[in-house]
Amino acid sequence: MNSKCDKYQKMIPDFFEDELEEGDLSEFLDHIASCKTCRDELSFQYLLYDGLSMLESGASFDLEKEVNNETGAARKRLIRRQRAVLVAAALEIITLATALVTGYVYITRMLL
């Protein structure tokens, strides 16, 4: 296991609790998508985290599907969060632009 994998595998519990920061979550998902070792570790920890109770309940259980659902949902949450940041930035730019225009109009009136 290389040290990069070590780093991501330590993030797995936080991933399940949805406590990773946006940047970390993005890196984490990219790494999981491309690294079988970490995907296996994620599956294993998922089994410990959530799977055992599902097995006990007797529900049919497809581990790979469950893990894919989990990472897919996290990816969607991430995209939604990034969009919210973009919208906030856009609103800020609009506010700034409005302030500039207002200031410009004000100064122009003073000069005329």
Which residues form the interface with Zn ion (CB under 5 A)?
5, 35, 37-38
At its nearest, how many Å lie between Zn ion and the CB of residue 5? 3
Residue with smaller CB distance to Zn ion, 21 or 30: 30
At its nearest, how many Å lie between Zn ion and the CB of residue 30? 11
Q: Are 45 and 13 in contact (CB under 8 A)?
A: yes
At its nearest, how many Å lie between Zn ion and the CB of residue 37? 5
> Which single residue is written with the structure tokens 């993030």?
11
Cα 3 to Cα 49: distance, rounded to the nearest angstrom = 24
Alpha carbon 56 to its chain's center: 30
Residue with smaller CB distance to Zn ion, 68 or 95: 68
Please name which of 8, 50, 65, 48 lies closest in space to residue 32, comparing C-alpha atoms.
8
Residue with smaller CB distance to Zn ion, 33 or 90: 33
